[in-house]
Amino acid sequence: MDNKKNTPIDRENIQEKYKWDLESMYANNEAWEEDFEKVKVLVKEISKYKGKTVESSSKLLEVLKLKDDLYRKISNVLVYARMRLDEDSRKSTYQALTDRATNLYVLVNSETSFIVPEILSLEEDDLEKYMQEEEGLKLYEHYLEDVLRGKNHVLSQKEEALLAEIGEMASTPETVFSMLSDADMKFPSIKDESGNNVEITHGNFIPLMESNDRRVREEAFKAVYNTYEEFKNTFASTLNGCVKKNIFYSKARNYSSSLEAALDENNIPTSVYDNLINSVHNNLDAMYKYMDIRKRALKLDNLHMYDIYTPIVKDVDIKVPYDESQTIIKEGLKPLGKAYIEILDEGFNSRWIDVYENRGKRSGAYSSGTYDSKPFVLLNYHETLDNVFTIAHEMGHSIHSYYSKTAQPYIYGSYSIFLAEVASTTNEALLIDHMLKNVKNDNEKLYLLNHYLEQFRTTVYRQTMFAEFEKNIHEYVENGGALTADYLCEMYKGLNEKYYGPDMVVDEEIAFEWARIPHFYYNFYVFQYATGFSSAVSLSQQILEEGEEAVDRYIGFLKSGNSDYPINVLRKAGVDMTTSEPVDKALGLFSQLVDEMDKLI
């Protein structure tokens, strides 16, 4: 068996040590069924409290504890089923388990929807009295504060139950997108650099786009986006459905926009989103200069969209076997201290990671798991430098989860999506710093600079372009527009022209890229890649410059979970995202690195 080939293999042919240990969650499907039934029992038990949540301080505590037990259990049931399905989305057994778990999760949401409205029926003075007389409620102080903050956006018990019931239907656009993109669609084969037939997959598309052979890049690019073009109307319908879902929920909860509704969940002002887009708009000249350098370095008359992933330096071929990547990552993250590296080692050696691509496997990479499980990582590993950084990135998520759930009780054991990308990209920033400091020659330094600039391009500029696209399409529908495939293609192509500048030939095929991006179904998620990267640049510099004091602040950040609002958690670590400073500083560093590369070209 050869995991290094571009063509995906069947899962049973991959060695056990390269597969995640989901058996540590449930030994078999029968054990999962037992918890599935236990959730149903807990649902019946909590429903008995309807109308009684705030009868007394002790009753309130009972409800909150039972709710924690219920969500802790259903999380295990749902996450396990989804991760099993992600191993091979063609397996009907796990399609069924995921469907059942999703339905049960909707039931849990419905049957617990009375809790918040009943808490909000209490006057603040009465709630304060409860807090004083029942010691156990002290644990829930921040949770209750956050509930009260959303008082104007919580509906009646009957309305909340109705919204919860809609949950299953509301997930349809994302489900259809995933099934079409991951399970049903098939890309054609092309000839690789050696003339061998290679079937294009989600996992090997970017490695093919990094090829030194321009023919391979162009053929892969056109093959993928021409395939999406064939399904453009279906993808436009799924995205339109998702946007309408977001708008429906925002209106139902009395928000002025879907953006406000999405950000308010974590108490993030919309100005943070707008400031990000404005800051990037004000720093597009550096991106244009980078594209000009790329064109000159590649000795091209015209720079096309399929030329932006290939390394500028052609005679440095960095291939990194998976086992070797672990050594490199551990060296790069040494500034975070011995305890952090020990946790990293545990992850590598205890099967947290599902490493290689197989037929039917979900594309991309992610960190998942529950409060009670290992922090799992899904990869589709190919031996590229980019994939090494993907491991560091996803392990940043997982170790953040590890610290949070170890340091915090269940109620605060996770962290908000606004903070989700900070730890992951701090790992990347530390790793690239290590590699640049240990570079062997100017050529290799140029290669690494190219890679780091690509992190800025893809994580700050590109994700901000995605964020602007999301904002535009939501506002368009909120103002009465309809998201047709033609409209989406026109807008998306225009944004590419704006962000990449005059030295880029924006090929017609890129107009269909919006159909390929799963994050557009995540309700204003992607802007946090850019804010997270900007925060990470600041934190990594503090760690490298200040040493132990900054590391202590940072580990404190990782341990904070949801014990405070994310803006406050990040501020304690040393970054204030209510100002434009972190984004401006990150883009200032990008500009400096572009100038440094220009001197080496």
Handedness of CA 322, 323, 324, 327 (dihedral sign): positive
Neighbours of 440 (CB within 10 A): 8
Neighbours of 428 (CB within 10 A): 23
Nearest to 272 by CA among 599, 586, 578, 591: 578
Cα–Cα distance list, 492 to 367, 470, 509, 529, 593 (Å): 28, 10, 11, 19, 28
Q: Which of 394, 454, 470, 478 is catalytic?
A: 394
Q: 111: which strand partners?
A: none
**Contact (CB, 8 A) for 433 and 392:** no
Give Cα 177 to chain centroid, integer Å.
17
Sheet holding 376-378, edge to edge: 353-354, 376-378, 366-368
Listed in order, strand segments (DSSP E) in 438-536 are 504-505
Place of tokens 């997270």: 532
Percent helix / strand / coil, the chain, rounded to 5: 70, 5, 25
Give CA–CA dist 278/464, Å, rounded: 10
Residues 6+ apart with CB under 8 A from 519: 466, 525, 526
User: Where is 62: in which H helix or E strand?
Assistant: helix 57-87
- Taking phi over 0 as left and psi of -120 to 50 as alpha, with beta for the rest, 88 belongs to beta
DSSP track, 535-591: HHHHHHHHHHHHTHHHHHHHHHHHH-TTSS-HHHHHHHHT--TTSSHHHHHHHHHHH
What is the 8-class DSSP label of residue 123?
Answer: -
Instruction: Let me know how long the chain is.
Output: 601
394 belongs to the catalytic site: yes
Q: 189: which strand partners?
A: 199
- Active-site residue set: 394
